Structure 1
Amino acid sequence: LNSSLIFFSSYFIYHSEKFQEKISPKKFWERKINTLSTELKKDDIRIKSLKLDLEKEISLATYNEEMAEIKAQREDLDANDIYNEMENEHIQKLSRIKDEIDEISKDEEKVKNNLEKALCHINLLK
């Protein structure tokens, strides 16, 4: 039991960021820069994808009235009620996409700031 406790303690100490930074600062900051760069690329791709989804949803809105009429005829319902329901769902979907874009953009800014700090650290080590 004691040996496993010592092993896990050593493992966590070794993998702690501060300890890694002190042991090999250049390697630590290079790894940090690679991680942050990858994260930044992923966020950028995700934002572009969401913007395309947003454009698609906006363009599909022009067909809501026609789709409501078709659905009303098929299900023998009021076309205006169906259209209003579809319009509300559409607005909610657009809002969710915009909120997600905003959230990822905020995260992206944090990553950019951390990346700049990491680049400054690596430049100081040279």
Structure 2
Amino acid sequence: MKAFFKKLEKVWVVILNSSLIFFSSYFIYHSEKFQEKISPKKFWERKINTLSTELKKDDIRIKSLKLDLEKEISLATYNEEMAEIKAQREDLDANDIYNEMENEHIQKLSRIKDEIDEISKDEEKVKNNLEKALCHINLLK
């Protein structure tokens, strides 16, 4: 019985060691620095494609947020009328409802502007990284 457990222990150690070797080599192979050293041109082309896609996504998100901002600004003209309608329906003061709606509107506008600024900063970083990647690929040619 002891021999069986000794053999099982040895098999377990072999399995553990081989899985450790497999996973460590997998992570090393997929690391960016290693990929760059194996085939730099392919690595930088892939990096350029990724950054270009990310840049397009950021651009679309910024355009979408700008449209949302324009929509919110145009809807602000109707806040007073909506406040009067809501006040009549709920028997409340129209000025209080209007002030509340105005505060919500201002907060929403500031959130959209902040998000646009944040995405614009990210877009600038991506543009810088894209320029660096293009320089690297031009150096390889």
Asked if Structure 1 and Structure 2 have the same fold, meaning a TM-score greater than 0.5 normalized by the shorter chain, the answer is: yes
Could you report, residue by residue, the CA deviation over 1:61-81 in whole angstroms, capped at 9, with x for unpaired residues? Answer: 000000000000000000000
* Structure 1 residue 125 displacement after superposition: 0.3
The yes-or-no answer on 1:29 pairing with 2:44 is yes
Between the aligned partners of 1:106 and 1:13, the Cα distance in structure 2 is 32
* Structure 1 residue 50 displacement after superposition: 0.1
Between the aligned partners of 2:27 and 2:116, the Cα distance in structure 1 is 35
Which residue matches 2:137? 122
* Structure 1 residue 4 displacement after superposition: 1.0
**For structure 2, which runs of at least 5 residues remain unmatched after alignment?**
1-15
Between the aligned partners of 1:93 and 1:6, the Cα distance in structure 2 is 53
Match of 1:66 among 73, 77, 81: 81
* Structure 1 residue 2 displacement after superposition: 1.1
**For structure 1, which runs of at least 5 residues remain unmatched after alignment?**
none
Could you report, residue by residue, the CA deviation over 1:55-106 in whole angstroms, capped at 9, with x for unpaired residues? Answer: 0000000000000000000000000000000000000000000000000000
* Structure 1 residue 107 displacement after superposition: 0.2
Between the aligned partners of 1:105 and 1:96, the Cα distance in structure 2 is 14
Which residue matches 1:75? 90
Match of 2:30 among 5, 10, 15: 15
Which residue matches 1:52? 67
Secondary structure of the corresponding residue to residue 78 of structure 2: helix
Between the aligned partners of 1:85 and 1:4, the Cα distance in structure 2 is 61
Secondary structure of the corresponding residue to residue 77 of structure 1: coil
Could you report, residue by residue, the CA deviation over 1:18-71 in whole angstroms, capped at 9, with x for unpaired residues? Answer: 000000000000000000000000000000000000000000000000000000
* Structure 1 residue 11 displacement after superposition: 0.7
User: Which aligned runs of 4 or more in structure 1 are off by greater than 6 angstroms?
Assistant: none
* Structure 1 residue 3 displacement after superposition: 1.0
Share of identical aligned residues, percent? 100
